[in-house]
Structure 1
Amino acid sequence: MSAPHMDPDEFRRAGHAVVDWIADYWTTLGQRPVTSADPPGALAAALPAAPPTAGEPVEAVLADLDALVTPRLTHWQHPGFFGYFPANTSGPSVLGDLVSSGLGVQGMLWATAPACTELETVMLDWLAGLLDLPQRFRSHTRGGGVIQDSASSATLVATLAALHRASGGRWRDHGVDRRYRAYTSTHGHSSIEKAARIAGLGGEGVRAVEVDPDTQAMRPDALRAAIEADRAAGDLPAIVVATIGTTSSTAVDPLPQIGAICAEYGIWLHVDAAYAGAAAVCPELRWSHAGLEYADSYCFDPHKWLLTGFDCDAFWVADRSELIEALTVMPEFLRNAATESGAVIDYRDWQVPLGRRFRALKLWFVLRWYGVEGLRAHIRRGVALAARFAERVRADDRFELAAPHPFSLVCFRLRVGAELDAVNADLLARVNGTGRVHLTHTRVGDRYTLRLAVGSPQTAEAHVDEAWRLLDEAATDLLGKG
């Protein structure tokens, strides 16, 4: 006989067990290795070949979580996780997601879940005010915001809207013999190239613009030269993607100059602030948003540095009609009186998928639990911890800082000779091999560079100091000197 559906009482009991399990997991994170030492395929080999014939209790599932799954994870919430960029979550975010899952509503149209749409609209206005974004991005204007799953999707829909504008709506028509171009810096995110490929611009649709060797930011003169060269060749510049906080080094592209160039040529400007946009909750860090008034679209990820679990990218446009025109398709089965009235927002027209979850709930929970001052304290703490680590690097003549560190990422490396890349790669492997911390690498100035990104709510001074101690010890061993 098949297992019955979980009734409310059973759900209540099981839910308490799951919440307790998560709380215990968070409590013990610091004692766990940050990454798993098991080889590929270890979990797959440990799992049964088929699902159980009869249903099992939640306790059995939680037991296997402990025994099989968590030992083979990379623990992104670990206080010693300094890799990539942070992917924060928090108690209020988890609770908001739980409520979203429990409601199980489908938010593709206002008519399918009115509160889902309206809460999202208000949350994006709250965020716009929190970051002091230009008024043109607020919902009471021609613009407005929406939650995408990631900055990659935001870049894709911005690219589609830009192509729609540049071509007068004809960029997908057969027989239109025109090549469209996108531009970003050599440190622009890989999602920009992917968006261009999905949009049909081809493998060479993105022009990589040179960066300043000192700041690692896009050079406006190089952008202008690339645009002029493409125009002379008969190509049509469609979109420039500028970055606030590049993935490699958190460089900030000069938006005032880039924006003026885009305005001069009539090119869509999308600003990708996926990681560093959260910093603008602090007034002293809003310098990074200078020139944003030029932007046609902008995004940042609360799921990176603003304590909101993945997936939650906040995306705004200055003119929502251009986005809707580029993406809308209206089948008969979705027609309804509210949509026909023009009085509501249907977020299905602001994204690639049709369906959408109630993601605004976790954002609402986070904003209400922490408040403005709590979020600012979290950001400032990360910046301060990164500065503490950078001071350790700066004070040791064996090391050097590889780039400025305006936020909570520090790029650094050992000062060694011809074998710089190999020695720094060995340093990273040794430190990560301890299981106490996890760092990642990039290339800055075409040299192998280590990255330490602070962001976990559990990370404290002791964890940053431990990372430095491990680096110091490994460097001493590698270089053979104290």
Structure 2
Amino acid sequence: MLDNKSFREEAHKLVDWMADFYENIESYPVKSQAKPGEVINQLPVTPPAKGESFDQVFKDFESIILPGMTQWQSPKFHAYFPANSSYPSVLGEMLTTTLGAQCMIWETSPAAAELEELMINWLKPLMNIPEKWTGCIQDTASTATLAAMISAREKKTNWSINQNGFDNQKIRFYCSSETHSSIDKAVKILGTGMENLVKVEVDENLAIIPSALESAIKSDLENGFLPCAVVAAVGTTGTLAIDPISAIGDICQKYNIWLHIDAAYAGTALMLPEYHEMISGIEKADSFVFNPHKWMFTNFDCTVYFIQDEEALIKTFEILPEYLKTSTRGQVKDYRDWGVPLGRRFRALKLWFVIRDFGVEGIQTRLREHISYAQWFADQVNEHPNFEIVIEPKLNVVCFRMITTEQAEKQLDQLNANLVAAINGSGEAYLTHTKVKGKYALRMVIGQTYVQRNHIEESWQLIQTKANALL
């Protein structure tokens, strides 16, 4: 069993290993090559009766666990959206883990609560969030969006459902067919059911058509439904489609409907003044979420949730048992009242480390580099006779596919599925796919913290090599 002396020794070894890992990360397969059951079958079916040496535990980590891990921090990880890390974030996370604080209320760690408040205040002007808004740090965008939808439900029903449960209220939520699946999950958790999530028609850019949204709301009002909230996307998961916030905001204000903006990934781009137009009209919204743990170099999990009406949020989630009453209540922010969980990690520390280490200009430089790499990649695709862009690239995401003149659409879908499998099977890069207007397309996401132009060039060469082999 580790004591302080052996902990110190092993911790020094681990930090050296961590530094070596980042230095040599390109030597690992990007996507784990493990087969189903391969990891668990190498491990004992029962725990040890007596403690084992840390040296043996770590050897098993290196030989069994590590090969079963996909390397999300590889500069050739171009799948999904990134879950980024960075050196200052890792160090901040180490301190958070060491402190081991449960930061549910101000009393349990004043610095945690006040640093969280500071992070919100730092980010608002940088991202062009309205000055009067406030916010907190949640774990994921799924949780933050759920909190927004619950708050919308309660405000719309004068907080009656929290008190009395559903009483034949026919509540409706609205989003586009491109919006993240967390919205579907949220309506299940809310108890309103999938039938009451209205998927609104999108335009050629896969963004919500405001007139279609208003028609859906009018129809629901005529049929006795209660329109409650619209979830608009600033950067959908598939293609980074951006819904027209201002026009949607006008409709929501007209019908007294909550507007929540899901900018989980693309929201980080708001650190760049030239992209503030993405949320033009945000003053008409009620809440907004983005994930520093995606594209802002901060370890998972760290989600920033902004809200216009702080009291509505607190009134929705506040519960005050005797054992949580404190003498400072009303003078400070007790963030346990700002969302679903009571328990809260000290997430603000790693975000503070990142912003201070990079500086605003350093973050902006990295983001602009990523966007420029994506434009370079898109240019290569456009110039190649066997590839095409399937929808206009946005920020640092390019959706493309392999094409041939001889094959029909269904055959092209299978050809591109084979291409993704060949790329990922090589271990040299990792891409995922989406469907764009019915077409199977590959997604090239360029957002890993330390990715450089040469990594994109090498991934493009790999894509061409695997495509040629299929042809």
TM-score range, shorter chain: over 0.9
Structure 1 residue 49 displacement after superposition: 2.4
The separation in 2 between residues aligned to 1:328 and 1:470, in whole angstroms, is 53
Which residue of 72, 77, 90 corresponds with 2:86?
A: 90
Which residue of 31, 42, 46 corresponds with 1:46?
A: 42
The separation in 1 between residues aligned to 2:366 and 2:267, in whole angstroms, is 14
Which residue in the other structure is 2:441 paired with? 449
**Residue identity opposite 1:212 in structure 2:** D
**Residue identity opposite 1:467 in structure 2:** S
Which residue of 177, 180, 199 corresponds with 1:186?
A: 177
The separation in 1 between residues aligned to 2:343 and 2:319, in whole angstroms, is 13
Which residue in the other structure is 1:352 paired with? 340
Which residue of 123, 127, 136 corresponds with 2:119?
A: 123
Within a 5 Å distance, the mapping from 1:46-445 to structure 2 comes to 46-137=42-133, 144-172=134-162, 173-174=164-165, 176-213=167-204, 215-339=205-329, 342-416=330-404, 417-418=408-409, 419-445=411-437
Deviates more, 1:396-405 or 1:349-358: 396-405
Which residue of 16, 37, 61 corresponds with 2:12?
A: 16
Structure 1 residue 175 displacement after superposition: 6.2
Q: Is the 8 A contact 1:298 1:317 kept in 2?
A: yes
| Secondary structure in 2 matching 1:271 | strand
Structure 1 residue 105 displacement after superposition: 1.4
Structure 1 residue 54 displacement after superposition: 3.2
Please tell me whether residue 477 in structure 1 is matched to residue 465 in structure 2. Answer: no
The separation in 2 between residues aligned to 1:365 and 1:176, in whole angstroms, is 48
Structure 1 residue 203 displacement after superposition: 1.9
The separation in 1 between residues aligned to 2:278 and 2:303, in whole angstroms, is 19
| Secondary structure in 1 matching 2:101 | coil
The separation in 2 between residues aligned to 1:294 and 1:15, in whole angstroms, is 50
The separation in 1 between residues aligned to 2:167 and 2:181, in whole angstroms, is 27
Structure 1 residue 38 displacement after superposition: 2.1
Deviates more, 1:444-453 or 1:469-478: 469-478
The separation in 1 between residues aligned to 2:3 and 2:379, in whole angstroms, is 55
Structure 1 residue 408 displacement after superposition: 0.7
The separation in 2 between residues aligned to 1:451 and 1:117, in whole angstroms, is 38
5+ residue gaps, structure 1, are 138-143
| Secondary structure in 2 matching 1:168 | coil
Structure 1 residue 468 displacement after superposition: 1.4
Measured at CA, do residues 174 and 150 of structure 1 come closer, stay the same or move farther in structure 2, by a change above 3 Å? closer
Which residue in the other structure is 2:3 paired with? 6
1:272-322 deviations in whole A, cap 9, x for unaligned? 000000011111122212111111000100000000000000001101100
The separation in 2 between residues aligned to 1:26 and 1:65, in whole angstroms, is 16
Structure 1 residue 109 displacement after superposition: 1.0
* Identity of matched residues, %: 43
Deviates more, 1:454-463 or 1:202-211: 454-463
The separation in 1 between residues aligned to 2:245 and 2:25, in whole angstroms, is 40
| Secondary structure in 2 matching 1:65 | helix
Structure 1 residue 129 displacement after superposition: 2.3
1:194-225 deviations in whole A, cap 9, x for unaligned? 11111111121211111112x11111111111
1:81-138 deviations in whole A, cap 9, x for unaligned? 100001100111111111111111111111111111111000111122221211122x
1:146-181 deviations in whole A, cap 9, x for unaligned? 111000001100000000111111134246221111
The separation in 2 between residues aligned to 1:191 and 1:269, in whole angstroms, is 16
Q: Is the 8 A contact 1:439 1:450 kept in 2?
A: yes
Deviates more, 1:169-178 or 1:359-368: 169-178
**Residue identity opposite 2:9 in structure 1:** R
Q: Is the 8 A contact 1:197 1:205 kept in 2?
A: no
TM-score of the pair, normalised by structure 2: 0.96
Q: Is the 8 A contact 1:30 1:78 kept in 2?
A: yes
1:402-428 deviations in whole A, cap 9, x for unaligned? 112221110011234232211111111
**Residue identity opposite 1:170 in structure 2:** S
Q: Is the 8 A contact 1:21 1:62 kept in 2?
A: no
| Secondary structure in 2 matching 1:93 | helix
The separation in 1 between residues aligned to 2:224 and 2:257, in whole angstroms, is 15
Count of residues in correspondence between the two structures: 466
The separation in 1 between residues aligned to 2:196 and 2:130, in whole angstroms, is 30
| Secondary structure in 2 matching 1:136 | coil
| Secondary structure in 2 matching 1:257 | helix
Deviates more, 1:305-314 or 1:108-117: 108-117
5+ residue gaps, structure 2, are none
The separation in 1 between residues aligned to 2:216 and 2:14, in whole angstroms, is 55
The separation in 2 between residues aligned to 1:256 and 1:118, in whole angstroms, is 32
Which residue in the other structure is 1:140 paired with? none
**Residue identity opposite 1:189 in structure 2:** H
For the aligned residue pairs, the C-alpha RMSD in angstroms reads 1.3
| Secondary structure in 2 matching 1:412 | strand
**Residue identity opposite 1:369 in structure 2:** D
Structure 1 residue 268 displacement after superposition: 0.4
| Secondary structure in 2 matching 1:184 | strand
Structure 1 residue 430 displacement after superposition: 1.4
